[in-house]
Amino acid sequence: MNKNHRVPSSRSLNAVEVKSKFGAEFRRFSLDRSKPGRFDEFYGLLQHVHRIPNVELLVGYADVHGDLLPINNDDNYHKAISTANPLLRLFLQRKEEADHGTFGTDSLTRKKNTVLSAVLLRPDHNKKKPPVIISLPKDFRPVSSIIDVDILPETHRRVRLYKHGQEKPLGFYIRDGSSVRVTPQGLEKVPGIFISRLVPGGLAESTGLLAVNDEVLEVNGIEVGGKSLDQVTDMMIANSHNLIITVKPANQRNNIVRSGVGGGGGAASGSSGRSSDSSASYYGYSSHSAAASIPPHIIQNFPVGELESDEDEEDLVIEAGGEAEPIRHMASNHSMSSLPRYEPHLNLRTATTPSPDRAMERGSLEEDGTVITL
């Protein structure tokens, strides 16, 4: 993570010019590029210069491509400072008025022509449709990925579903069936487990990586052959925190073609994970077309050991009585479980906004953000 702290050497100027806009008001000031300070200091500074000490703000800036990107932690703050060219254009919004759809690619350039502040208004053609809600980067996390492409036969697909304390259901059903296997004796019909239904809006459907009639071959690396439907059901539920299903897709036309990438070995892995945002499917994202066009370079390999360790300390222990803190009621807030462990070591954030997904946030940042593509 320290890479973001580097001072860009190409910049000769040491001061960054800042133009901050809140509503109709502008403020201008400058910052030291080499010592930008922390985000919370910066945040306080903004509140100070705009004289809005008690207003919760969403801070955005225009990057070199004209995209409106958020500033809400040290990392993206430093990024914003280091890439300021030389002017850093800031757009502030009240948090309660915040429009999550504002951030993203082309969000500024599209609106260059509009008279009013580009930030506060959506383009007209978007108004007719329900807005595409795009989460803040802190909420970004992978929801699914295709893994182990280099070791699996091309006809198989190993899909990892991330169900980390999110509300969205896994959303699929399995059934018994029979599949045909090639054996030395010829073709043989053997019993198999198949996906029978995908719940609209569920995690499984939204990934686009699983489809009805796909044959389930393995669950978290364990073959399901010879196991009953109930056993496989229990295995999947037991692994639901981190479910890895190896399927033989019913539709074999969308298989990943390994075109010489395998030579690099590691080249195939780790570059990027493909993930469609979970909320996208609510608005009729055509996930199947997305699945159909998976380029070969967005594949990840996950070491199996990592899967194991993930959930090790998930159990939530509440100490009570004696000199320990007073009893906090669980109130089914199970997502708090990840809190103690995944305390970000930068310790930037005030503790008032405990995020259930902070753990994932960290993970995604470590992967240099490329996991998140929209």
Partner 1 sequence: MRAFLEVGIVLYTLVSVLGSFVKTVEHGFPHQPSALGYSPSLKLLAIGTRSGAIKLYGSPGVEFMGLHDENAAVTQVHFMPHQVELVTLLDDNSLHMWTLRGHNGLSELLEIGRFTLTGPPGVTAVLAHSSGELLLLGTEGGHVFVVEVPGFRELEERNISLDQVSSRNLEHVEALQENPVDPDQVIIGYGRGLMVIWDLEKKLAIQHIPATQQLESVCWTEDGKYILSSHSDGSYCRWMVGGQDMNEEEKSDIPYGHFPCKAISKIVQLPTEEGPPFLLFSGGMPRASYGDRHCITVIHGKTHVALDFTSRIIDFFVIRDGPQRTDPSALVVLVEEELVVIDLQTEGWPIIQTPYLVPLHSSAITCSHHVSTIPLKLWERILAAGKHQNAHYSKKPWPITGGQNLAPDPPQRDLLLTGHEDGTVRFWDASGVCLYPMYKLSTAGVFHTDADPNDNMNQGTEGEWPPFRKVGCFDPYSDDPRLGIQKIHLCKYSGYLTVAGTAGQILMLELNDEAAEQTVEAKVVDLLQGQEGFRWKGHTQLDIQEDPVMFPAGFQPFAVVQCQPPAVVTALTLHSEWKLIAFGTSHGFGLYDYQQKNSVLIKCTLNPSDQLAMEGPLSRVKSIKKSLRQSFRRIRRSRVSLRKQHLQEANARLEAELAEMELAPVQRKIEARSSDDSFTGLVRTLYFADTFLSDSSHNTPSLWAGTNGGCVFAYMLRLPSVEHRADEPVTAQLSKEIQLMHRAPVVGIVVLDGHGAPLPEPLEVAHDLARAPDMQGSHHLLVVSEEQFKVFTLPKVSAKMKLKLTAVDGSRVRRVGMAWFGSSRTEDYGESGLLVLTNQGDVHVVSLPHVKMQVQYPCIRREDVSGIASCVFTKHGQGFYLISPSEFERFSLSTRCVVEPRCLVEAPLHSGCSNQHQSQPDGASSTHRYINLEVSLMSRLSWIRTPN
Positions that interact with partner 1 (CB under 8 A): 163, 169-177, 196-197, 204, 220, 222, 224, 227-241, 311-322, 327, 330, 332, 334, 337
* Tokens, residue 363: 């993970």
DSSP run (H or E) holding 190: strand 186-198
We find the least distance from the C-beta atom of residue 180 to partner 1, in angstroms, to be 18
The least distance separating partner 1 from the CB of residue 168, rounded to whole angstroms, comes to 10
**Shortest reach from residue 217's CB to partner 1, in Å:** 14
**Judged by CB, which is closer to partner 1: 107, or 145?**
145
CB of 289 to partner 1, least distance (A): 25
For the bound state, the minimum distance from the C-beta of residue 331 to partner 1, rounded and expressed in Å, comes to: 9
Neighbouring residues of 145: CB distance < 8 A, sequence distance ≥ 6: 159, 160, 162, 273, 274, 275, 299, 300, 302
Q: Whose Cβ is closer to partner 1: residue 227's or residue 258's?
A: 227
Which residue pairs, CB below 8 angstroms and at least 24 apart, start in 301-306?
A: 301/147, 301/148, 301/149, 301/150, 301/268, 301/269, 301/270, 302/145, 302/147, 302/148, 302/160, 304/221
Q: Which is nearer to partner 1, 100 or 227 (CB)?
A: 227
Cis bond leading into 356, ω under 30°?
no
Q: How far apart are CA 332 and CA 310, in angstroms?
A: 21
Q: Closer to partner 1 by CB, 92 or 224: give it.
A: 224
What is the rounded distance in angstroms from the CA atom of residue 374 to the CA atom of residue 370?
10
CB atoms within 10 A of CB 319: 10
Q: Are 303 and 270 in contact (CB under 8 A)?
A: no
In the complex, the smallest distance separating the C-beta of residue 359 from partner 1, rounded to whole angstroms, is 13
Q: Of the two residues 84 and 210, which places its CB atom closer to partner 1 in the complex?
A: 210
- Cβ proximity to partner 1, 54 vs 332, nearer residue: 332
